[in-house]
Structure 1
């Protein structure tokens, strides 16, 4: 059955992929955008000036069955805001709940909120993964804002009957990925020696195609209503293993030096890069058994195929 779907964050890494998959399945599409953009001609656009408590959504919500809300003020490593929590709340909490309230008034059936694993916390002990129904423990303003948005959406669902689905992704990678994952591919492609050959951590990742597949499953699955799901590829990797397998996907050498993790952490702390060292040396695992069991969902793409897709896209576009 086709639906009319409004996607926010439609020009972002996840939003574009969601739109593409929805179009392939024949859904009627509407995208909320901040400015004119080169989206597919079959996507109707609805322009907003901001995502906050004052945004007017009525025109964009007419006839909409499902909202996939991926727009957000995203986590940044070196935030320059004087009050980062207020800045995150303005967009991620007030903007989200404003949209959801107007969605209720417009008769929208289901609201899918792309949250973050940062609601659970910043890291796990190896072998002790996060679960979807754990008590939240966000450690930074971004994670706090996502948690508060989740809480507000659940309260609204209880009061109104709006079906809310919350998805908390771990690190998302795939064709067109940016930030640290892109930097990793650049280093490996160039054959740069990296001091990450002896890291025995475990981290959950999710391929873009796997995340999008879960989002589309949550659009229609009756059991998804008013649930929270964690999502990953179902295979956790050490940083060392990830680099080796990414290098293989790139057809490049993995020149990894076996520097002890304790020395890397010390050096990163001295350089003011403690958060980065946590991502490289620490563990962050999620248990997706609830997602599998309740929805009958299995990640359609294995890690090595997903890495190959990311590598191919990078190599095809590296000189553009």
Structure 2
């Protein structure tokens, strides 16, 4: 392989691995996978050891032009850490800054940080989406750690001259998705009646293909330097719409009961599941106008196509 070397941390994760395969397909850059352990990427591209938790595991950056930092301690529903915020700060802030200073000292030109829309907050009013230049308002420890990492990385950029770019995605889905999106598909496949047929919220999502495409644009675009970008599919859906369209992609019938959202929220609060109710019933929209205007970027994959790709991969995995 030839072309400028681009190091991707978290290369075994959902975003990192998809990005590596996109770079391999495009053959413009040489991807370098930074991983903690075994990976199926061995033999496909250069692989280096990396761990966010210590100086001894900083990756080799020989001839690396750009670092794309996807690795992180991710948001978890039931965190068992004694001090979750401190644990998020140790990994997502201190580890990211350590990596960035290492990159700057090695002569890396640009550092792209995959952050989170949780930096902006947890919810929006319908028709009042978050924008890239809004005042950050993170609520949970994960969001706080991502915001603090953004701030400190920008400071590293000012001190060293290394170009910093930040991308804040909302919920990411696509082939191989896990967690709540995967559970949603299993519910639909099992014909489970879901009390989610009357939810009129609006939520922005981003297909993995759209996120990866934006990242590749940010590798070289001169206007990306020092900027924060939001990303989405450009089409917002209610929870009810998402379930119905996912059912179509899976070729199954959906069974959605029209339970009022206020009743769902009340029941969830009584059961101690307020956060789940917020994700199912509340709105979270993002405005990608700045991303479009500054970078000339638009989503390359429609929601319909992305849902079909997700469903197709899900079906093939279950048939193995």
Give the TM interval when normalised to the shorter protein: over 0.9
Separation (CA, whole Å) in 2 of partners of 1:8 and 1:252: 37
Deviation at 1:190, TM superposition (A): 1.6
Look up the SS of the partner of 1:31 in the other structure: strand
Deviation at 1:55, TM superposition (A): 4.1
Structure 1 contact 109–163 (Cα < 8 Å) conserved:
yes
* 1:3-18 equivalence runs, <5 A: 3-18=4-19
Look up the SS of the partner of 1:148 in the other structure: helix
Separation (CA, whole Å) in 2 of partners of 1:284 and 1:248: 24
Answering whether residue 13 of structure 2 is matched by residue 23 of structure 1, we say: no
* 1:1-320 equivalence runs, <5 A: 2-26=3-27, 27-48=29-50, 50-52=51-53, 54-57=55-58, 60-320=60-320
Separation (CA, whole Å) in 2 of partners of 1:4 and 1:115: 22
Deviations 1:21-52 (A, max 9, x none): 0111222121111112221513111113x313
Look up the SS of the partner of 1:318 in the other structure: helix
Deviation at 1:198, TM superposition (A): 0.2
Structure 1 contact 53–94 (Cα < 8 Å) conserved:
no
Look up the SS of the partner of 2:32 in the other structure: strand
Deviation beyond 4 Å, 4+ runs, structure 1: none
Deviation at 1:268, TM superposition (A): 0.8
Structure 2 contact 49–57 (Cα < 8 Å) conserved:
no
Separation (CA, whole Å) in 2 of partners of 1:175 and 1:230: 22
Look up the SS of the partner of 1:220 in the other structure: coil
- From the superposition, tell whether residues 55 and 204 of structure 1 become closer, same or farther in structure 2 (CA, over 3 Å): farther
Separation (CA, whole Å) in 1 of partners of 2:56 and 2:185: 39
Deviation at 1:283, TM superposition (A): 0.2
Separation (CA, whole Å) in 1 of partners of 2:121 and 2:93: 18
Deviation at 1:228, TM superposition (A): 0.3
Say how many residue pairs are matched: 318
- From the superposition, tell whether residues 40 and 52 of structure 1 become closer, same or farther in structure 2 (CA, over 3 Å): closer
Separation (CA, whole Å) in 1 of partners of 2:294 and 2:92: 27
Where structure 1 has 5 or more consecutive residues not aligned to the other structure, the ranges are none
TM-score (norm 2): 0.97
Structure 2 contact 203–284 (Cα < 8 Å) conserved:
yes
Structure 1 contact 29–42 (Cα < 8 Å) conserved:
no
Deviation at 1:159, TM superposition (A): 1.4
Deviation at 1:319, TM superposition (A): 4.2
Deviation at 1:271, TM superposition (A): 1.2
TM-score (norm 1): 0.97
After TM superposition, the structure 1 stretch with the greater mean CA deviation from structure 2, 34-43 or 176-185, is 34-43
Look up the SS of the partner of 1:67 in the other structure: strand
Deviation at 1:252, TM superposition (A): 0.5
